Amino acid sequence: MKILPAIDIKDKKCVRLVKGNFDDKTEYEISPIDQARKFKDYGFKNLHIVDLDGALIGETVNLEIIQDIVSKFNLKVEIGGGIRNFESIQKYTDVGVEKVILGSAAIKDKNFLKEACIKFSNKVALGLDAKDGYLSLSGWKENSNRLALDYLKEVNDYGVSRLIYTDINRDGMKQSPNFEETLKVAKVSNCPVIISGGVSSIDDIKKAKSLNNIEGIIVGKAIYDGDIKLDELVKEDA
């Protein structure tokens, strides 16, 4: 199972939000480049990056930072945050990003998702961010009345290469992921699923490894706050 340490970028800094709230954020001293170097030095192979500036305005704001990370450290990077057109996907694939995560734009326009999967084969990941089972959009500022599972069933045969399921209520809370809901999604999904939101301990990682159709797990705040030690975590990375 893949471990994906997380880097969330805001104003060129590493930050962590609580439940996606931009007013409830922690800034860390380390830069995104130095943080990526640290993950590489410990032996991690994958990285989950969110461009929070991009999520707010719908542009590839931190493209240069992401390009630096990919070129310097040879990490397999998945990137999300404000990717709403083919041009943005192209920019990221051109700099060597492994997976581009489509969220709000894909939910608002299923044809965009379908065409992206055809145009960028094996590069498109679908980000489903849910609160109480219902999808949230636009950096979690906008709630929808659509159940994540219903939407997934509609787009399940489009050719998405990876699905990232985030329970917003757990994100940044370190209360363990919502394994129950994630498993429901994994049972329906035609592609492997990444667990996101709420990881609090190595026990959460071990539990995730025992589940079916789970490709990996994203770990953020628990790393930055020191609840999970990187040398322990990398041992679980396969």
Q: Which residues are catalytic?
A: 8, 129
d(CA 237, CA 44): 7
Inter-residue contact 214 to 179 (CB < 8 Å): no
Nearest to 163 by CA among 181, 145, 139: 181
Inter-residue contact 96 to 119 (CB < 8 Å): no
C-beta atoms surrounding 227 within 10 Å: 14
H or E segment at 102? strand 99-102
Inter-residue contact 234 to 42 (CB < 8 Å): yes
Tokens linked to 175: 């209360």
